[in-house]
Every structure is written in C-alpha cells, then in structure tokens.
Amino acid sequence: MRFGVCYYPEQWPQERWPTDAAMMAEAGLELVRVAEFAWSSYEPGRGRFEFGWLDQALDVLAAHDLGIVMCTPTATPPVWLVRERPEVLSVGPDGRRRAYGSRRHTCVTAPAYREEAARVVDVLLDRYADHPAIVGWQVDNEPGNHDSARCWCDACQAAFGTWLEDRFDTVDALNEAWGTAFWSMTYPDFAAVRLPVPTVTSHNPSLLLAHRQFASRQTLDFLRNQFQQIESRVTADVMLTTNFYGEDTAVDQRAASRLGGHAAVDSYPHGPRDPMITAYHLDLTHWAPGGDGGAWVMEQQPGPINWTPDNPPVPDGQVRVWTWQVALHGFDALLYFRWRPARGGQEMYHSGLLRHDGTPRAALAEVGDTIRELRGSGRVPPPAPSVALLQSYDDAWAIEVNPHRRGLTHRDLQLGAYVAARRLGLDVAIVDPEDDLTPYDWILAPALHVATEKRVAALVNAINRGSRLVIGPRSLVVDRHGKISDRPLPHGLTDLLGARVDEMLSQTEPLTVEPWGTPAGVWTDVLEVAGGEVVATYAGGTSLDGRPAIVRSGNLVYVGCSDAGTWTRFLAGVTDRVPRPDHQEVFERTGGVGARSWRATIDHRTLDVAITLR
C-alpha cells in the first residue's frame, strides 16, 4: 500500500517547495497529487499558458522520488473562460445560470464545456503525458458533488429529449411506462417532456427518476471523454481514475470505475460521523466493478475540516485509525488531503498535515508513525468475502424520488444489512444485482427496490445453485421507470418464497420483531404466507402484532423490515456468529503468514487497533 498527499504548489512561494518535498519524503509519503484546481494558474488567459511553475514543481517533487498524480482541472474553470463562453455554466431549476464563484458550476452536457475540457486536457497531455514522475491521472474532481450533476440548460433539455427518444422510441411507450394517465399528464411528443422544475406540488416520480438517470449518464460521458483522451496518450501502467465523494448519489460511482480502470473515493469520516458508514463507502469503492482493480482513497481527512455545521476536533490517534481502516478494507493507496491548509479561499479552516505557518501539526508525525507501523505489520490479507451485498444506483434513485417517508435514503436501508454483516465480522463484497451471484454463500439485498427480469433471473439462479438470498422490505417493487409492478410482491419471487407482501408500510410507532424484541425500523412490509416458514413476527401493541415480519423458504428469506438490529439478530442466528458492538470492526482473513488465520480489530471508540494471528 502506498501513501501520499494532495499538494497545491501554486498556493505557496516557489522557495518553499523543496522544504515541503523533503518533509513529505521524510514522513514516508510516496505520492503527490497536484494541479487539481490549477487551470487559472497555468492558463491565465485563453491560450496563454504558463507551465513553467508546474514543470518546476514536478521537478522538485520528482527529485525526492515522489510519484505524481496529475489532475485534469475541469472542476474549476477560470473566470476568463466563463466570461467568454457563459454557456459553459450550468443552469439551476430556477432557470438562471449558476453564478461563478465556487466550483462545479459548469454543465457536463454543454457542447462548449465539453470542447473546452477536451482542449485543456489535450494541452496538459501534450506537456505531461510522458513525464516520468507521473504515475497516475485523476480526471475532474468529485463529479456530481454539491448536487451539480443535474442541470436545466437548453443543451440539457435537448439532450434529455434525445435520450428519452432513444429509450422509448415512441411517446406512447413513455406515457405507458410513466403512468401519465394519472393527473392528465399524457405527453403528445417528446419535446413536451420538460426537465422538472419546482411546481405547485410534486412531479411524477418517473420524470424525477429519469432526470437522475440522465444526469448520471451525461456525467459518465463527460468523464469517458477525458479517460479516452488520456488512455490514448499514456502507457498502460499509469493509473486512471476520478475521485468521488462517497455520499453523493448524483453519479453512478461504480459505473465510472469501469471507464477509468481504478476506483477512488474521498474519505471524510466527519461527513457521516459514523465509522460504519465510512466503511460502507470504502467497500462501495473497493468493490467497484470492471477495470483492473486497485482502489485508492484520493483524499483522506487528516484533522478538523471546515464544511460541516460544527467541525469538531480530531483526537490524537484518530488519523492512525482512519488509515488502518482504509488499509483493512483492501485499498492500494491513500493520499491525505492536504499538505498545508490554504491561507485564503473557501476551505481555509480545513486542516492539513502542516499548519498555516508551515510547521507540522501533530498529525504529520502520526501519519509517519502509522505508515511505518503498517509497513512493519506484514501484508494485510485482502478481503475474500463469502457475503455479497447487492447495490445499484437505480435502486438509490428510485427510492430518492419516492421514499414514502421524508428523508429516508437508499443508504439507510443498505446499512441495515451492511452493519449487521460487519458486526458479525463478515467481509462484504458489494456487487451489482445483475452480476453472477453464485460465488457467494450469502446474498444480502436490503434495498433491491427495482425489479427487472434479469435481476430476478440472477437471483433465482443463485438460489438454485445453493446461495442463500436475504431480501429486505419493498424488494422488487418498481420497474426501471419507477412504476409499481402489477404482480404480487416481491415481483417474480412470491412462488419461491411461499409468501407475498400484504402491506408496504412506513412505520412510525416503535414496532419490534419477535422473538428477539429488536426494532423493526422505518420501512416495514407485512407478509401473507402461503407455504413459507414464518421466522419472526411483529409486536408492539398494534393490529400488526403477530403478523409475519420474516419469512423463509429454503434458500430465500424475506426480511420485511429495515432496522440493523433485526438484521443483525437474524443473520447472527443463521450464521451462528456473535455480534460485536457497532463501534468495533473485525476483519477475519485467511492468507496471512503461514496460512494461519488472521484477525484485525478496530475499536472506533477507544481508537485501538489490534492484529492477532493464530
């Protein structure tokens, strides 16, 4: 595993660079990401390139054997470009062009911005494609962040129409697929379908869903263009990726890794404030499909940040634990964000490894010690899980646009099963529902909301081959356009299950699940049994008392509720494992020294890390 740091030489005097490079090397860092937001620094006016400083910075870093990750600068175009071609700016739902002045204010669909992006990437490649110190390229920065993927500009409106036409062929097919007979919304032609903007009350969820699907697709196209430009110019050993903020759902992050070959995530545990959620996003990235593997944390929080409402302190030892957590989730590389905090700009209170004055924070020593500790602790065996968790952004978006409970997210549901598995010490592979699922003993599908024939077939095939499938509430309910099935639910699996969903509830009272007394959670399906075995029932003093909550039939289990407590108790029973507290992560691996069993434990509360070999 390699370690590095994000560095912005353009923010500091040239005289300082050698000191910085020496300190980085001294700390054991090997990688430096540069030039992510440097467009205006190397092209201060159209075609007026000033690469001298960047050449010099790369030379200084290379002189200390630091490998460079070069970035394309498309997250932050210069002022002059926006002034010259305002059509590169995205448009908000209010119909107004986004103002210049922050970042991600451009439209990934606008032909003008695609042209400018291609131009600047070509210039960068002309200069740096063959630079010997460059070990990887990062395309853009946090695509979709700040809810920036959706845009309401004329180019997007036109592209949306074309996309719909490609998808549905006839507007009658769209009307049927979206159920527009409801509220008299039958579209006479594709041009009548407008990008959804605020209206008197809510929009058809199918339109909202299509907008999300479209916006993700457009971003992937934008990224693909850059990947292809770079791939055609660099050697095969150069790493290509883009860095997502894990919590964003605007773009299909896993699909993006198919384009670039590597997956990368920016990990700021103070965003979600729950180490299990950090773990989930790490696994989401690590198990990203396609490509040639090898996930990176491209930005790792090294201390207090500036962009949450409160921004609390980071205790001594925390950066070490965060680093270990990344390592144990199987990552190839980790870069801390950032070397030294900028003196000005939007993130001036976001800490780095140094202070503003250039002296080291305690975190720098902690990082150095942790790198040495990790290198000294032997190889971390990679995860090779027998448990799969199904994941797809189609489910996430379908739930986002119609959650039946304000604020409920797809991730909330995913975490019910993920946390259960992690508390039982099980490594989890996160895989696509249409993938081959037969390699896994257990397939967990807590939020498999969308039913497609291909999904159902993959699930049935896995069950038939001996995998055990556990599906959660509202499984296989809507089609890929968000329309509810007209067949008994779960769509396609009721016969196998020997049960069907009676009611799909959004639970507000604190129901429990018997025989365990565990909480039921928000989404709560009540089942009607016809042959299946009732494993657990609801309790709590309502008319649902005694109604089936969990039904099993052979290798297929339907867990009607979403709370992690119930998932944990159920899975503990069937796997015969004992759950740990939710502030502990256990990693049980084989393949350690001498093929003995290998176990690591992180306690996120006490900040202890322990490795035991048996």
Within 8 A by CB and 6+ apart from 592, the residues are: 378, 379, 381, 598, 613
Q: Which is nearer to a second copy, 139 or 239 (CB)?
A: 139
Shortest gap between Cβ of 234 and a second copy (angstroms)? 23
Interface residues for a second copy in 405-434 (CB under 8 A)?
405-406
Does residue 342 interact with a second copy by CB under 8 A? yes
Q: HSE of 446 in the Cβ direction (CA atoms, 13 Å)?
A: 27
Q: Which of 8, 168, 296, 331 binds a second copy (CB under 8 A)?
A: 8
The footprint of a second copy on residues 583-612 (CB under 8 A) is none
Closer of 79 and 384 to a second copy (Cβ) = 79
Q: Which of 43, 299, 366, 400 is catalytic?
A: 299
Q: Which listed residue (65, 122, 316, 441) binds a second copy by CB under 8 A?
A: 316
Nearer to a second copy, 97 or 577 (CB): 97
Q: Which amino acid is residue 242, in one-letter code? A: T
Q: Which of 102, 170, 461, 590 binds a second copy (CB under 8 A)?
A: 102
- Token pair, residue 407, equals 């604020």
Question: Which of positions 454-473 make contact with a second copy (CB under 8 A)?
Answer: none
Closer to a second copy by Cβ: residue 312 or 378: 312
From 4-12, 18-26, 230-238, 447-455, give the range in contact with a second copy by CB under 8 A. 4-12
Short-list 484, 480, 462, 468, CA closest to 559: 468
Contact region for a second copy (CB under 8 A) — 122-130, 310-318, 390-398, 445-453? Answer: 310-318
- 30 noted as active-site residue: no
Tell which positions 261-290 bind a second copy, by CB under 8 A: none
The answer to whether 83 contacts a second copy (rule: CB under 8 A) is yes
Query: Nearer to a second copy by C-beta: 1 or 530?
Result: 530
Distance between CA 103 and CA 147 in Å, rounded? 11
- CB of 500 within 8 A of CB of 527? yes
Q: Which among 131-139, 402-410, 558-566, 577-585 is the span making contact with a second copy, rule CB under 8 A?
A: 402-410
Question: Is 492 one of the binding residues for a second copy (CB under 8 A)?
Answer: no
Buried b (16+ CB within 10 A) or exposed e, 107-130: bbbbebbbebbeebbeebbeebbe
Q: 600 pairs with which residues across the strands? A: 587, 611
Q: What is each CA distance from 441 to 69, 403, 455, in whole angstroms?
A: 39, 30, 18
Alpha carbon distance 527, 511 (integer Å): 15
Span interacting with a second copy, options 116-124, 160-168, 345-353, 383-391, rule CB under 8 A: 345-353
Among 526, 520, 570, 565, CA closest to 548: 526
Q: What are phi and psi of 168, to 5 degrees?
A: -110, -20
Strands 608-613 and 584-589: unpaired
Number of residues binding to a second copy, judged by CB under 8 A: 110
Q: Name which of 110 and 489 has its Cβ closer to a second copy.
A: 489
Judge contact between 585 and 604, C-beta under 8 A: yes
Cα separation, 261 vs 557, whole angstroms: 35
Say what the alpha-carbon torsion angle 532, 538, 542, 547 is, to the nearest 10 degrees. Answer: 10
3, 7, 39, 322: which one binds a second copy (CB under 8 A): 39
Q: Which 3 state secondary structure label does DSSP give 257? A: helix
Q: Which is nearer to a second copy, 232 or 359 (by Cβ)?
A: 359
Q: Collapse the DSSP code of 314 into the 3-class scheme (helix H, G, I; strand E, B; otherwise coil) and give the result.
A: coil
Single out the residue of 427, 420, 245 nearest to residue 328, CA to CA: 427
80 binds a second copy (CB under 8 A): yes
The minimum distance between CB 578 and a second copy, in angstroms, equals: 29
Select the residue interacting with a second copy from 192, 574, 610, 613 (CB under 8 A): 192
If binding is defined by CB under 8 A, does position 362 make contact with a second copy?
yes
Helix (H) or strand (E) holding 374: helix 362-376
Given the residues 43, 142, 366, 400, the one annotated as active site: 142
Site string for a second copy, 135-154 (x = CB under 8 A): -----------xxx------
Is 299 among the residues known to form the active site?
A: yes
| Residue from the set 47, 232, 237, 359 that interacts with a second copy by CB under 8 A | 359
Q: Does 347 bind a second copy (CB under 8 A)?
A: yes
Task: List the one residue from 14, 19, 170, 346 that touches a second copy (CB under 8 A).
Answer: 346
- Spatial separation of the C-alpha atoms in residues 458 and 478, rounded to whole Å: 17
Is 63 near a second copy (CB under 8 A)?
no
Which residues 508-547 are close enough to bind a second copy by CB under 8 A? 508-509, 524, 542-544
Catalytic positions are: 142, 299
